[in-house]
Amino acid sequence: MNWIDKKFARENIVLNRAAEVWRKVRTAIEDACNSLNLNSDQPKVECRPENDNAVVVWVRFPPKSSPGMPNGFPHSNSVRIMFDSRRNLITATLNQNSPMEFGIDSDEIECFLSYQNQKIDADRLSEIALSDAFFKART
Q: Distance from CA of residue 86 to its chain's centroid?
A: 18
pLDDT for position 139: 54
Residue length, the chain?
A: 139
Sign of CA dihedral 22, 24, 29, 34: positive
Walking along the chain (139 residues) 10 residues at a time, the average pLDDT comes out as 93 95 98 96 94 96 68 82 97 97 94 97 98 84
Q: Which residues of 92-126 are buried (b: 16+ CB within 10 A; e: fewer)?
A: bbbeeeeebebbbbbeeeebbbebeeeebebeebb
Residue-level pLDDT at 136 = 87
Cβ distance 73 to 138 under 8 Å?
no
**Per-residue pLDDT at 114:** 97
Per-residue confidence (pLDDT) for residue 55, from 0 to 100:
98
Residue ranges in the chain assigned as alpha helix (H): 3-39, 122-135
Q: State the pLDDT at residue 68.
A: 59
Report yes or no: 46 and 30 within 8 Å, Cβ to Cβ: no
Is the pTM here over 0.75, yes or no?
yes
Contact between 79 and 103 (Cβ < 8 Å):
no
d(CA 138, CA 60): 10
